[in-house]
């Protein structure tokens, strides 16, 4: 039996199941282990920070959309911005700084440029930099994790030397200031899931890691590199922020240039003595040249018409 009214649509009638919202959902799930680690290491303050960031991001996006008379919330992107931003901050920070950072990230960096897909720099990175530059005091209140006794590299080094190490020491980093540097394993697990779902491209991630490691060797020598990789926010930035599909370039060649430059600049800033935010600042700087990369790296089109 055929219905009297048939559905008519334009081809293709069949699409890949990976939609924008599903990408965002996978991303959120991949951030969760890290946040749980943060809660375990720093206590409930972490949860307050995460909730503040997420809620203020969502409210900011809704507000701007309502002013522009659009649908208030069309996707999960503000939640991701909030989660990523909270990971970049220290749980010791006063919550009004977190609120200001979220507001700046969504309103100034994202919505003014035209909303999702149009922002030039990563909103979370922008929000973090806003707090870092505007209220540098916010980062001065140190907050030590209360679980582990050693830093990640110390305990893993001891494990490779054949000493007995506590399991908790292997997981957590005593030196951590921010949620994103508390447990590198949680980041790696999340990243592997992202790669499996093809949300991020493994080639770019590997290239970025390789470039960062190589330049760190060049600047610091072999002994200090592991601690820079596993105890700072670099790993988090590489896996969760530099692979952001909105702000990274489109073509593979441009992506490779982007990856190498990020590795180079972050190690350079670390070498120049920037303790917090070296990777964030390099990410923002490279994001700014992405439109130029996209414009000038033009593909050779084999089937082009003869002039």
* Contact set with another protein (CB under 8 A): 1-3, 6-16, 18-20, 22-23, 74-75, 115-118, 245-246, 248-252, 255, 299-306
For 96, other C-beta atoms within 10 Å of its C-beta total 11
Q: Quick one: tokens of 208? A: 């970025």
**Closest distance of CB 20 from another protein, Å:** 5
CB 241 within 8 A of CB 283: yes
**Closest distance of CB 53 from another protein, Å:** 21
**Closest distance of CB 290 from another protein, Å:** 10
Report the residue number, 84 or 186, with the smaller CB distance to another protein.
84
Report the residue number, 13 or 164, with the smaller CB distance to another protein.
13
CB 270 within 8 A of CB 278: yes
Report the residue number, 10 or 160, with the smaller CB distance to another protein.
10
Q: Quick one: tokens of 165? A: 């190490």
Report the residue number, 146 or 251, with the smaller CB distance to another protein.
251
Report the residue number, 61 or 169, with the smaller CB distance to another protein.
61
Q: Quick one: tokens of 254? A: 């441009």
Q: In terms of Cα–Cα distance, which of 246, 235, 253 is closest to 199?
A: 246
Q: At what angle do helices 252-271 and 202-220 cross, to 10 degrees?
A: 30
* 98, 135, 251, 264, 302 from 269: Cα distances, Å: 24, 20, 27, 9, 41
**Closest distance of CB 273 from another protein, Å:** 35
Please work out, in degrees rounded to the nearest 5, the angle formed at the alpha carbon of residue 102 by the alpha carbons of 100 and 108.
90
Report the residue number, 10 or 167, with the smaller CB distance to another protein.
10
**Closest distance of CB 114 from another protein, Å:** 9
CB 31 within 8 A of CB 176: no
Q: How far apart are CA 84 and CA 128, in angstroms?
A: 10
**Closest distance of CB 226 from another protein, Å:** 32
Report the residue number, 90 or 248, with the smaller CB distance to another protein.
248
Q: Quick one: tokens of 200? A: 């991020």
**Closest distance of CB 144 from another protein, Å:** 39
Report the residue number, 162 or 302, with the smaller CB distance to another protein.
302
Q: How far apart are CA 205 and CA 243, in angstroms?
A: 7
CB 78 within 8 A of CB 60: yes
Q: Quick one: tokens of 299? A: 């593909």
**Closest distance of CB 231 from another protein, Å:** 31
């Amino acid at each position: 039996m055929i219905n009297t009214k048939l559905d008519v649509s334009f081809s293709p009638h069949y699409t890949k199941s990976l939609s924008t919202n599903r990408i965002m959902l996978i991303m959120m799930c991949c951030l969760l282990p890290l946040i749980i680690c943060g809660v375990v290491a720093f206590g409930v303050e972490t949860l307050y920070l995460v909730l503040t960031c997420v809620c203020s991001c969502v409210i900011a996006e809704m507000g701007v959309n309502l002013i522009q008379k659009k649908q208030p919330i069309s996707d999960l992107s503000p939640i991701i911005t909030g989660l990523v931003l909270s990971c970049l901050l220290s749980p010791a920070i006063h919550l009004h700084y977190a609120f200001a950072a979220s507001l700046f990230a969504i309103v100034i960096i994202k919505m003014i440029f035209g909303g999702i897909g149009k922002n030039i720099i990563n909103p979370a990175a922008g929000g973090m930099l806003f707090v870092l530059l505007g209220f540098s005091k916010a980062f001065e209140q140190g907050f030590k994790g209360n679980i582990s006794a050693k830093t990640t590299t110390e305990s893993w080094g001891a494990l490779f030397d054949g000493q007995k190490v506590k399991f908790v020491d292997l997981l957590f980093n005593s030196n951590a200031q921010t949620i994103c540097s508390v447990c590198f394993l949680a980041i790696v697990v999340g990243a592997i899931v992202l790669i499996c779902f093809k949300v991020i491209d493994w080639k770019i991630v590997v290239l970025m890691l390789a470039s960062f490691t190589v330049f760190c060797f060049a600047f610091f020598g072999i002994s200090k590199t592991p601690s820079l990789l596993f105890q700072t926010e670099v790993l988090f930035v590489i896996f969760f922020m530099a692979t952001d599909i909105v702000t990274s370039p489109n073509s593979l060649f441009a992506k490779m240039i982007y990856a190498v430059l990020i590795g180079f600049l972050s190690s350079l800033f670390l070498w120049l003595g920037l303790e917090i935010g070296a990777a964030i600042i390099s990410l923002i700087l490279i994001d700014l040249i992405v439109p130029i990369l996209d414009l000038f790296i033009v593909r050779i089109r084999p089937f082009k018409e003869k002039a």
